[in-house]
Amino acid sequence: MIRLEIIANHSVEENILEALGKEGVGKHYTKYPVIFGVGSSGPRMGDPIWPEENFALVIWCEEEEALKIKRVVEGVKERFPDEGVKVFGLPEAAPVAESAQAEPAAEEKPATAAGEKPAAAGEDDLAGYFVAGVEGESE
């Protein structure tokens, strides 16, 4: 399963939903109707200074559908290049094993060689979480 997040200006919301419907993808989603932030297209704060607002769709789907959704969103972005349309993808994380949830006691932590930086907890678990062709901005 892939978690897709589509974040875009409200001005293209209908275009994105219509395009997804036309292709028969992204039928089940969670919508965040108003979100604020600052991206590469500039601030969207919904206030008198930066009046525009974004919305977001979160879609869980299989990789094949995720790639189709990415292409659909890219098509909308091509039609409206200045409206701040992004799509991000992240595979479903594997459940954390019970033994990995607890921090080892200080005396149980492995020693590191002088000058060696200790590995962050779960650092190796994140390798490969972004899927080729789905991750990053849709540009």
* Average pLDDT of the residues of the chain: 79
Tell me, what's the pLDDT at 116? 42
Kindly state whether residue 40 falls inside one of the protein's structural domains: yes
Q: Is residue 13 part of a domain?
A: yes
pLDDT in tens, 37-80: 998 888 999 999 999 999 999 999 999 999 999 999 999 999 99
Indicate whether 111 belongs to any domain. Answer: no
Can you give the residue range of the structural domain that contains 73?
1-93+128-139
Domains contained in the chain, number: 1
**What CATH number does the domain containing 51 carry?**
3.30.70.120
Total-model pTM: 0.68
Structural domain includes residue 25: yes
Residue 121 lies in a domain: no
Q: Kindly report, residue by residue over 85-108, the tens digit of the pLDDT.
A: 999 999 988 777 765 555 555 554
CA of residue 122 relative to chain centroid, distance: 20
Q: Rounded to 5, what percent of the chain is helix, strand, coil?
A: 30, 25, 45
